[in-house]
Structure 1
Amino acid sequence: MRQLLLLTLSLFLSAAATAGISLQGKAQPGAALFGKATPGSDILLDGKPVPISADGHFIIGFGRDAKGTHTLKEITPDGNSNKLIELSPREYKLEKVDGLPPSKVSPQKPEVLARIKREGAQVATARTRRDAQRLDYLDGFIWPVKGRLSGFYGSQRILNGVPKRPHYGLDIAADTGTGIVAPAAGIITLAADDLYYSGGTIILDHGQGFSSTFLHMSKVEVEVGQRVEQGENIGKVGATGRASGPHLDWRMNWLDQRVDPQPLLPAAE
């Protein structure tokens, strides 16, 4: 898979010399796009620096509600060039989830709210890694677990009849105890057994601020700082935290943007 992706990206190299930046992927809300620029260049997305390797590999992502035209700038000693990215519109599903404990839908106790805030900061810190030269994501991605797709990125959630924030993950239903593997190699930056909303939770960094998060696990089988390879076991499916049944909620982030894992995967078997 890595060789195929590298070959695909290499096809853009001759064009990159004249046209600047090359991108792979569909430009739409929730997308992660793989890029190649001139080696030694800097990249800005809408004026903000993008992590880029010495040989010019980078990745960018757009959140659920992103829209319009965005500017990718390449800065080299020989001059600058711009590439405009026009995002295609996207529609999302409406999903209703019932049977959740009321305390998990609309918590009221001050100590619980303080815990949620503390854990949110912990998760945010775990996503701050920016290894520009580590490109584990170039190996491509595999399914972390096999099962029925029960929830989709971007869907508007109605929990126990109460409208809530959109869902930012891909839900894969499977029996409690089913093994979960790393969809791509990376370094563990969070391994928590019992967060309030997400229960057993792992964050796996794939390089350049691109990370996977795995929620509701019944067992976490890795440690912070550990490197795991694609296909290596990391834990077990569960229904911990705010969950109505056993499943894996798999989320992906590029820096502070929540992106959709599904377009990165091979078709479900």
Structure 2
Amino acid sequence: MGFSRNSMLLIGLASIASCSATPPPIAASAPTHATTSTQPAAVVSQSPAPESARSDFWLAREAVQGAAVIGRAPANAVGVTFNGAAVPLTPDGFFLIGFDRDAENSASLVAEFADGRRIERYLAVKPGNWDIQHVNANPLGGAKTSAEFQARRGAELARINGARAIKVASDGWRQDFIWPLQGRISGPFGAQRVYNGTPGSYHSGLDIAMPTGTPFVAPADGVVVLAAKDPFTLEGHLLMVDHGMGLNSAFLHCSELLVEEGQTVRQGQVIGKVGATGRASGPHLHWGMKWNSARVDPLSLLPARP
């Protein structure tokens, strides 16, 4: 099942401290009709709720900008929506949600039942703590001129977007993720990047510095949806693995890819080698993750390093 972490919590979704006099976030807009419950749930366990006690939502961790979070719906729920959008449910009621790096400070979860009842919960989304990072790298990456960059970039983005639109059947998202390799973290997720003095976008992944040619492994089961054997301008040799439920990993700047598109990979399987292709200041593995359109921090799914 993959729920052994000590950080797992049964969270009162409207308010962590149910004894607090402070109302839950955006409670003023909560529905008040009789078929909808909006009362906060108490903290009752540090492990997934047993079948006999699934009267409310359970989440594996708190809601934080940049986090991917496994949850479980109340027993007998037939559907769940997150911020108004339907979220797939497993037969035993588990689901996955993600909070973008720039997510709003509140979010909603709604469970729907066959008899028309609804349970609605509001989550207070904690802010992330983002650094500013200066990087000595060419903003154009592997392109020599702006014209070359513009000529190549459209087709590259089309392949990336096409890969992310692929939905696969995989239970990798439910596993306890492992580190793809051990090394120095040279770039945290979410940091505002400045390239040679020119402000850029925030850093969308986690950088792990290791020498060129160092093998890395799949952090969880999944299916390869993109393997760029010809390097992209920014990403270089890019490998993307879909773990199911809208969650995918992207590994950038590789020196070599060891798997093919459409291939199923298993957790711990060697899938590529570290490099410095594309826009990189030195050899490292950039590991980016997205849940649907939300960019999330791989650290939110990883165990603490020893």
TM-score normalized with structure 2 length? 0.81
Match of 1:146 in 2: 182
For structure 1, the residue ranges without an aligned partner over 5 or more in a row are none
Partner SS for 1:196: coil
Do the aligned partners of 1:34 and 1:59 also contact (CA within 8 Å) in 2?
A: yes
**What displacement does 1:39 show?**
5.1
Q: After superposing the two structures, state which structure 1 stretch, 117-126 or 103-112, moved more.
A: 103-112
Partner SS for 1:165: strand
Match of 2:161 in 1: 124
**What displacement does 1:93 show?**
0.7
Do the aligned partners of 2:82 and 2:108 also contact (CA within 8 Å) in 1?
A: yes
Among 123, 141, 145, the alignment partner of 1:85 is 123
Change (3 A) 1:102 1:54: closer
Change (3 A) 1:39 1:236: farther
Do the aligned partners of 1:92 and 1:155 also contact (CA within 8 Å) in 2?
A: yes
CA distance in 2, matches of 1:83, 1:71: 6
Among 186, 192, 203, the alignment partner of 1:156 is 192
Do the aligned partners of 1:107 and 1:113 also contact (CA within 8 Å) in 2?
A: no
Change (3 A) 1:39 1:189: farther
Match of 1:175 in 2: 211
Among 31, 42, 45, the alignment partner of 2:79 is 42
Among 228, 239, 262, the alignment partner of 1:225 is 262
Partner SS for 1:4: coil
CA distance in 1, matches of 2:228, 2:258: 10
Aligned pairs for 1:1-269 (under 5 A) are 2=2, 4=4, 10-11=48-49, 13-16=51-54, 18-19=55-56, 21-37=57-73, 38=75, 41-78=78-115, 79-98=117-136, 100-101=137-138, 103-104=140-141, 109-131=146-168, 134-193=170-229, 194-269=231-306
Partner SS for 1:164: strand
Deviations 1:153-209 (A, max 9, x none): 100001111000000100000010000100001111111121110011111111111
CA distance in 2, matches of 1:161, 1:30: 26
Do the aligned partners of 2:142 and 2:232 also contact (CA within 8 Å) in 1?
A: no
Change (3 A) 1:102 1:89: closer
CA distance in 1, matches of 2:244, 2:76: 18
If each structure's helix is expressed as a fraction of its own residues, which one has the higher value?
1
Do the aligned partners of 1:168 and 1:251 also contact (CA within 8 Å) in 2?
A: yes
Do the aligned partners of 1:178 and 1:236 also contact (CA within 8 Å) in 2?
A: yes
**What displacement does 1:101 show?**
3.1
For structure 2, the residue ranges without an aligned partner over 5 or more in a row are 9-44
Do the aligned partners of 1:105 and 1:159 also contact (CA within 8 Å) in 2?
A: no
Change (3 A) 1:135 1:41: farther
Deviations 1:24-73 (A, max 9, x none): 11211001110111356211111111122222111000111112211111
Do the aligned partners of 1:39 and 1:55 also contact (CA within 8 Å) in 2?
A: no
**What displacement does 1:88 show?**
1.1
**What displacement does 1:130 show?**
3.3
- Cα RMSD (Å) of the superposition? 2.2
1:156 corresponds to which letter in structure 2? Q
Q: Using the aligned pairs only, state the percent identity.
A: 41
Do the aligned partners of 2:216 and 2:270 also contact (CA within 8 Å) in 1?
A: yes
Deviations 1:107-158 (A, max 9, x none): 7533421321221121111112334x63222121110011100000100001
**What displacement does 1:244 show?**
0.6
* Count, aligned residues: 265
CA distance in 2, matches of 1:103, 1:124: 20
Change (3 A) 1:163 1:12: farther
CA distance in 2, matches of 1:69, 1:144: 32
Change (3 A) 1:15 1:60: same
Do the aligned partners of 1:45 and 1:71 also contact (CA within 8 Å) in 2?
A: yes
Change (3 A) 1:45 1:68: same
Change (3 A) 1:13 1:118: farther
If each structure's strand is expressed as a fraction of its own residues, which one has the higher value?
1
CA distance in 1, matches of 2:143, 2:263: 35
